[in-house]
Each structure stands twice: as C-alpha cells, then as structure tokens.
C-alpha cells in the first residue's frame, strides 16, 4: 500500500481532516461534537496527514491525521478503521516526533486513552499523573522527553509487572481507566471476582471492549469469573460476553464472596472497595504487587473451588 505523509495546517486540508476526525471520534467513539470542534485549538497548529493512493484512479485519499500544538502538545491522532492494520498510527506519531525536534521542542506531551498505552510505550513515551476523565473517556498524560532523560519515577507508570505504586482511585472513571490499562497488557491469567455483578460499572462498553481483546489473547487458559450471585443479571454485557466466549470463561457462583477483585496474572490487582491500609477510596489497585496477588489468588481459588455453575449463563445460552 502506497502511504504518504504530508505536513500541513487546518485551513489547507480542513475538509479532509474533518472527515477523518468525524468518523473516528464522533461517530465511532461517541465524542460530543462540541468537545471535538474547538476553533481556538487550530490556531498555529501543525497537522500531519496520511494519504493512500488509489491504484486505479491515481487519486489520494486522506486516511489519518495527527496534530501538533505550538506548546509541544500533540493529539487528535486518528486513522480510519479500514487502514489500522498498516502501521499508519505509528508512522504519524514518529513523524510528529521529528516535527517537534525540528522545532527544537524539549518534550512532547498528550492525553492518551488508556487502552492505547502499550502503543505509546513502544514509541518511547511514558505515562505520568493520575487517571482522569476527558469527554467521558478515561485518559492519562503521556510524555516523551526530546532532550534529557526520562524521570525515573514515571518510567514504569501503569506498567503491569513493573509499577509497584499503589493507585488510590476516587472515581469510577479512574477505576475504569485502571482496568482498561491493565487489560491492554499481556498477562498469564485473569481472575475477575464481583460481589456486586449487577452494578453497571462492571459493564461499561469500553471496559467490555478491553476485556474482549484480552480474552482473545488467551489460547489455552480460561478467564475465571467468580460472582456472588447471578440473579437478574443474565442480560448484562459481561454475562453476554462470557456466554459468547464460553470456551474462554469459567464462571462460578459463590455467595460467600464479600468484595470485588480483578487479578492480572501473578503481578497486578484491583479491588473495590480499597484494601490498602489508610485508604478511604471506593477502589484501589497496583500493577506490581506479587505478595498481595498471591494472597488474593489463594482466597479466590478456595471460593472458585466451592462455587456452583451459573444458572443465568445457561439462560443466555438458550
């Protein structure tokens, strides 16, 4: 495929850039148009667009874009769905890095959706700061120093098996972002234990998308799903996903379950409510805490062994 990159500005390719961002951010991700189209942000900004040439007509079509602001912040990285398997997103980010270097910028910063963290890590970025809400989607700040060294305290931020910091999570959007961040990374196993499976926070569409991607990575091992009950929950997204991918889920019911946990392999955990001493938050988690994971694995193993098969899941099958 003949992919070309071109540096430009908003006023030169407005209709083409609008088309890409409209499809990706507004129609696909459900962003409010008022949050997407902010005229002041386009002043002085540079764009790099990706075009693909039609072999039959010789015409170029814009299939991706990325924006660089004068203050060193970049964003609005978007690639049309049918062209995401060709590495265009990585090409655009590498091009914006080169553009920032040519402008003698000292660093590049952006707000990244949590599922995309591994993509940016591979390109040399690191995450920093707290998880936060941006247009209803969990985000985190990312940065790439263009001069000097990476702050060691941020080097492994949110990396499963490397970040040993405890994360107090005050809001549900932060909890969702933490879970998505973990699910986007490779792991040896996944255990989900929910004492309140009826609560909608466990069934958010973006969380289900991340769980679906994670489930498809499991070839020989099943995801263990332990529920306190299965009353009136058979039509909720998590149960539907488990039913659709029944070969990759093992579902058990045990009314003795008293708290919600997610265990990510042998390294990371998430809990609701918080379990770390001194924390008074609805949730907490840690990407690298082998001792706590080991203790929780043993507790949940006993509850799974004593659990019963889900009757609600059988109704989903039917």
Indicate if the pLDDT at residue 2 is higher than 90. no
Mean pLDDT of the 216-229 span: 88
Taking alpha carbons only, the member of 50, 44, 40 closest to residue 91 is 50
Indicate if the pLDDT at residue 316 is higher than 80. no
* Cβ neighbour number for residue 116 with a 10 Å cutoff: 18
Distance, CA of 66 to CA of 62 (rounded, Å): 12
Q: Half-sphere exposure (CA, 13 Å, Cβ side) for 101?
A: 10
Q: Domain limits at 274?
A: 167-317
Indicate if the pLDDT at residue 283 is higher than 80. yes
Distance, CA of 115 to CA of 123 (rounded, Å): 15
According to the model, what pLDDT value does residue 153 have?
Answer: 64
Q: Give the model confidence (pLDDT) of 166-183 as tens digits.
A: 999 999 999 999 999 999
In a domain, 90, yes or no: yes
Taking alpha carbons only, the member of 260, 213, 206 closest to residue 237 is 206
Peptide bond into 208 cis (omega under 30): no
Taking alpha carbons only, the member of 133, 135, 230 closest to residue 180 is 133
Least confident of 35-49, 98-112, 139-153, 199-213: 139-153
In a domain, 144, yes or no: no
Distance, CA of 192 to CA of 196 (rounded, Å): 12
- 313 shares a domain with 199: yes
DSSP element (H, E) containing 21: helix 14-21
- 78 shares a domain with 4: yes
Q: What is the CA radius of gyration of the chain?
A: 22
291 vs 243, which has greater pLDDT? 291
In a domain, 231, yes or no: yes
- 69 shares a domain with 201: no
Q: Give the model confidence (pLDDT) of 117-170 as tens digits.
A: 999 999 999 999 999 999 899 999 999 999 876 666 668 999 999 999 999 999
Taking alpha carbons only, the member of 258, 264, 311, 260 closest to residue 288 is 264
230 vs 315, which has greater pLDDT? 230
The residue from 48, 75, 102 where one domain ends is: 102
- 78 shares a domain with 3: yes
- 187 shares a domain with 285: yes
pTM of the model: 0.92
Indicate if the pLDDT at residue 295 is higher than 80. yes
In a domain, 107, yes or no: no
- 171 shares a domain with 98: no
Distance, CA of 301 to CA of 259 (rounded, Å): 14
According to the model, what pLDDT value does residue 147 have?
Answer: 82
pLDDT confidence band for 111 (50 / 70 / 90): very high
In a domain, 112, yes or no: no
The residue from 68, 87, 102 where one domain ends is: 102
Cα dist from 249 to 173, 264, 266, whole Å: 25, 15, 18
149 vs 317, which has greater pLDDT? 149
In a domain, 257, yes or no: yes
pLDDT confidence band for 318 (50 / 70 / 90): very low
pLDDT confidence band for 213 (50 / 70 / 90): very high
45 vs 55, which has greater pLDDT? 45
pLDDT confidence band for 312 (50 / 70 / 90): low
CATH value at residue 220? 3.30.870.10
- 295 shares a domain with 188: yes
- 174 shares a domain with 77: no
pLDDT confidence band for 56 (50 / 70 / 90): confident
Structure-token pair, residue 229: 């009950």
Structure-token pair, residue 5: 């990159």
- 308 shares a domain with 221: yes
- 175 shares a domain with 86: no
| Residue carrying the six token digits 């940065």 | 143
CATH value at residue 27? 3.40.630.30
pLDDT, mean over the chain: 93
In a domain, 145, yes or no: no
- 81 shares a domain with 220: no
The residue from 102, 136, 159 where one domain ends is: 102
- 206 shares a domain with 301: yes
57 vs 190, which has greater pLDDT? 190
Number of domains in the chain: 2
In a domain, 140, yes or no: no
Mean pLDDT of the 104-109 span: 95
């Amino acid at each position: 495929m003949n992919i070309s990159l071109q540096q430009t500005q908003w006023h030169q390719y407005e209709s083409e850039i609008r088309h890409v961002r409209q499809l990706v951010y507004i129609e696909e991700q459900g962003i409010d148009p008022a949050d997407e189209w902010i005229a002041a942000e386009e002043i002085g900004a540079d764009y790099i667009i990706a075009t693909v040439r039609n072999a039959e007509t010789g015409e170029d079509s814009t299939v991706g874009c990325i924006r660089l602001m004068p203050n060193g912040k970049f964003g609005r990285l978007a690639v049309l769905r049918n062209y995401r398997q060709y590495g265009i997103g990585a090409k655009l980010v590498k091009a914006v890095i080169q553009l920032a270097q040519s402008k003698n910028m000292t660093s590049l910063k952006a707000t990244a959706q949590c599922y995309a963290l591994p993509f940016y890590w591979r390109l040399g970025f690191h995450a920093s700061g707290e998880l936060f809400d941006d247009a209803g989607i969990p985000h985190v700040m990312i940065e790439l120093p263009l001069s000097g060294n990476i702050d060691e305290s941020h080097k492994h931020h949110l990396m499963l098996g490397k970040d040993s910091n405890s994360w107090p999570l005050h809001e549900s959007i932060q909890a969702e972002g933490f879970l998505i961040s973990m699910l986007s990374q490779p792991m040896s196993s996944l255990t989900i234990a929910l004492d309140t499976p009826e609560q909608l926070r466990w069934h958010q569409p973006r969380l289900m998308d991340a769980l679906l991607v994670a489930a498809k990575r499991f070839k020989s091992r099943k995801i263990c799903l332990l529920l306190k009950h299965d009353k009136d929950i058979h039509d909720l997204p998590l149960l539907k996903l488990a039913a659709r991918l029944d070969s990759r889920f093992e579902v058990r019911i045990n009314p003795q379950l008293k708290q919600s946990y997610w265990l990510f392999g042998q390294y990371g955990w998430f809990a609701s409510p918080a379990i770390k001493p001194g924390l008074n938050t609805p949730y907490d988690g840690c990407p690298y805490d082998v001792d706590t994971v080991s203790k929780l694995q043993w507790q949940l193993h006993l509850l799974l062994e004593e659990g019963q098969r889900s009757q609600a899941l059988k109704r989903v099958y039917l």
